[in-house]
Amino acid sequence: MADSAPRQYVPLTCHGHSRPVPHLSFSPLEKDDVYYMISACKDGNPMLRDGQTGDWIGTFLGHKGAVWQARLSPDALTAATASADFTAKVWDTHSGELLYVLQHDHIVRAIAYPFDNSGMLATGGFEKKLRIFDLQEQKPATSPTSGLITPITIETSRAFEIGEGAHKDAIKFIVWGIDPNIIITASGDTLRWFDLPSRRCVREAKLEAEIKSCELVYLAPAYSSPSDIGGGLPVLAVAAGKTACFWGGKRTEDELKRITLPHGIASVGLDLKGRKLVVGEEPGTWARVYNWDDCKEIDVHKGHHGPIWSIAFSPDGNLYATGSEDGTIKMWKNCDGFYGLWRGGSGGSGTD
């Protein structure tokens, strides 16, 4: 429930990256309420962390260029990264070993797993092509003597192209919702919905400016309810110009709301249960929190020293993370009482 009075937040800061963090995301909830966070970085070294505490688990080493996006598979057993080195890579999250190299002809900016299938992957980028790769066609081989895995390289010719010729600009984001036949892309100022069986674009929405962030927001089933924003279904949250736009429904195509703010927006996150949105202002370095229902500002988070490019809520909704141009990730408490490394107090209170 959103309070009218501002709260005193003391965020946790995750260090380790040496360059800007353009994207971060959480895994679904595992058993015992465990979840993970992965961050993309222009230093080329995506990192895996404990989702509740931000503690470093490991770094995926092998890209030769900036990593623009990073996501964890629905079963959290693999991680996918999109890079400026003309590849997308798929990694084993337990060993850190490289499993697949998806070779492209230009920079890969966007990557997405289906909502509940870890064996498929969608990619997009400066080629302006949306492709689907089937990772189950061929499995990486493990050497019987050394135990090392030999990664598989998959050329784009073996992928399925969806909506040929539909994109006029680079694909910056891809969203695969709960309907496995619908995939959404953000390219330039336009959202496009594609029907996978026919491989055709079935809908377009042109926004007021270039899309800066586009993410599917959802809570784990144990934490979601019909009273949430979106009625318990995932919600597509998009930032473009000064407007935050939201879509819901089973096919993620029902427009729920557009909220225009007095400043530009570099990123947007949505608290489905608490009915508030968090945005990274642009230009600026602050995150601002607004009430969903009346659009009034209820808090300001200071602490980053560069624009906030990515905002993600944990699968239980109890915290959210911000990734910034300053190379750091900050984690903000979003619940009452003890949680993670926070020892208590009301939602968003400090560690003391």
Q: What is the pLDDT of residue 287?
A: 97
Residue 343 has pLDDT above 80, yes or no: no
The mean pLDDT value for 291-305 works out to 96
Q: Is the pLDDT of residue 5 over 60?
A: no
Say whether pLDDT at 121 is over 90: yes
- Predicted confidence at residue 9, as pLDDT, reads 60
Tell me, what's the pLDDT at 131? 98
Which tops the pLDDT comparison, 40 or 32?
40
Q: Does position 19 have pLDDT exceeding 50, yes or no?
A: yes
Q: Bigger pLDDT: 141 or 25?
A: 25
3-state SS class at 11: coil
What does the domain layout of the chain look like in residue ranges? 1-17+211-352, 36-206
**pLDDT > 60? residue 296:** yes
Picking from 24-33, 119-128, 234-243, which range would have the lowest pLDDT averaged per residue? 24-33
Q: How far apart are CA 325 and CA 314, in angstroms?
A: 21
- For 199-228, write each residue's pLDDT tens digit: 999 999 999 999 999 999 999 999 999 999
pLDDT at 198 over 60: yes
pLDDT value at residue 32: 86
Residue with tokens 């674009």: 201
Q: Is residue 148's pLDDT more than 90?
A: no
Mean pLDDT, range 108-127, rounded to an integer: 97
- So what's the pLDDT on residue 40? 98
What pLDDT score was predicted for residue 101? 97
Q: Decide: 176 and 110 in contact? Cβ < 8 Å.
A: no
Express each pLDDT in 43-92 by its tens digit: 999 999 999 999 999 999 999 999 999 999 999 999 999 999 999 999 99
d(CA 244, CA 34): 30
Second CATH level (architecture) for the domain 1-17+211-352: 7 Propeller (2.130)
Q: 225-261: string of b/e by CB count within 10 Å (b at 16+)?
A: eeebbbebbbbbbbbbbbbbbbbbbebbbeebeebeb
Of 175, 162, 259, the residue nearest 217 (C-alpha): 175
Question: 1-17+211-352 and 36-206: same fold?
Answer: yes
Query: What is the 8-class DSSP label of residue 75?
Result: T
Average pLDDT over residues 275-301: 97
Q: Is the pLDDT of residue 284 over 50?
A: yes
Q: What average pLDDT does range 4-13 have in this prediction? A: 68
Give me the pLDDT at residue 7, please. 55
Among the listed ranges 194-203, 299-308, 341-350, which one has the minimum average pLDDT value? Answer: 341-350
The CA distances from residue 351 to 53, 207, 345, 346, in Å, are: 12, 40, 8, 11
Peptide bond into 283 cis (omega under 30): yes
For residues 310 and 148, give the distance between their C-alpha atoms in angstroms, rounded to a whole number: 35
Residue 351 scores a pLDDT above 90: no
Task: Over range 298-302, report the average pLDDT.
Answer: 95
Provide the token pair at 233: 């279904």
Say how far apart CA 310 and CA 139 lie, in whole Å: 32
Kindly state the average pLDDT of the residues 264-281: 97
At residue 265, φ and ψ (nearest 5 deg) are -125, 120
CATH architecture, domain 36-206 = 7 Propeller (2.130)
pLDDT averaged over every residue in the chain: 93
Does 237 have pLDDT greater than 80? yes
The token pair at 198 is 């026919």
pLDDT for res 106: 98
The confidence score (pLDDT) of residue 316 equals 96
Three-state secondary-structure class, residue 31: helix
Percent of the chain with pLDDT over 90: 87
The strand order across the sheet containing 23-26 reads: 23-26, 36-40, 47-50, 56-59
